[in-house]
Amino acid sequence: MKAVVLVAGKGTRMAKYYEGPKHLLPVAGKTVIEHALDNLPAEIDGLVMVVGGPHENKIRDFFSAGEYQGRPIEFVVQKDQLGLAHAFKCAAHLVEGRWLGMVGDDIFGPKGMQGLVDNDLAVLASRVDHPENFGVLVGDEEGFLVRSLEKPKEFISDLVWNGAMVMDQSFFEMDIAPSARGEYETPDVWMELIKRGRKIKIVEADFWLPINDKDQLEEAEKIIEEIRKLNRNKS
């Protein structure tokens, strides 16, 4: 089972603090992308990096060995940044069957990632204080996705998608229209799959560390150090 990791982008949110891709920012002795990849489940045996934008060569150089911790790496270019669904679909010819998709500039806890691969189709979610700023997920009584709304003005749910999922080839086969902002949105693909009878499990993350600004970077470093301390005490 392969992981499709999105590492394209312009890095504009961190530009005033750092010259380069967010994925390579140092956090507690490792880069963001290394922390993200370290928490992948054992079932993942290969990596597909979706690159593009002004920092493509820096990502390629960082992974010039062609593998990470024994997992071979393949690269594919997203020439035009037309949304996350479009980015994932750029890797369609390199994956078979089920695959794990994730953004590469956030850090997800290992238990949540394992929960994804333990389900047929699944999306990773976190509870937040201000869901109106995110893509909100609505589940049924059994925890399966029934609705997804982008930045709703009225409260619907405090569960939001945080950028990781497990899908299969059917994800690439769904034909969706671009959104009002001209991008192909991943939740639109999920809704099309659900219309066709597929069930998508909502898995809650054990933790989620987004890296969008300096404060979040410092918070991530603090939390990772705390987790390391707890793990040392357990052993």
Which residues touch 208 (CB under 8 Å, ≥6 apart)? 106, 107, 108, 109, 112, 124, 126, 162
3-state secondary structure of 108: strand
Burial of 176 (0-12, 13-18, 19+ CB in 10 A): middle
Residue 16's pLDDT is: 63
pLDDT single digits (tens) 30-84: 999 999 999 999 999 999 999 999 999 999 999 999 999 999 999 999 998 899 9
What are the residue ranges spanned by the domains of the chain? 2-123+163-178+207-234
Q: Mind giving me the DSSP string for 59-87?
A: HHHHTTTSEETTEEEEEEE-SS---HHHH
User: What is d(CA 209, CA 162) in angstroms, rounded to the nearest whole number?
Assistant: 9
Mean pLDDT within 6-15: 73
Torsion, Cα of 54, 1, 150, 146 (10° steps): 170
pLDDT single digits (tens) 84-98: 999 999 999 999 999
Confidence of residue 18 (pLDDT cuts 50, 70, 90): low
**Which fold is adopted by the domain 2-123+163-178+207-234?**
Spore Coat Polysaccharide Biosynthesis Protein SpsA; Chain A (3.90.550)
Has this prediction a pTM greater than 0.75?
Answer: yes
User: What is d(CA 193, CA 2) in angstroms, rounded to the nearest whole number?
Assistant: 21
User: What is d(CA 50, CA 233) in angstroms, rounded to the nearest whole number?
Assistant: 38
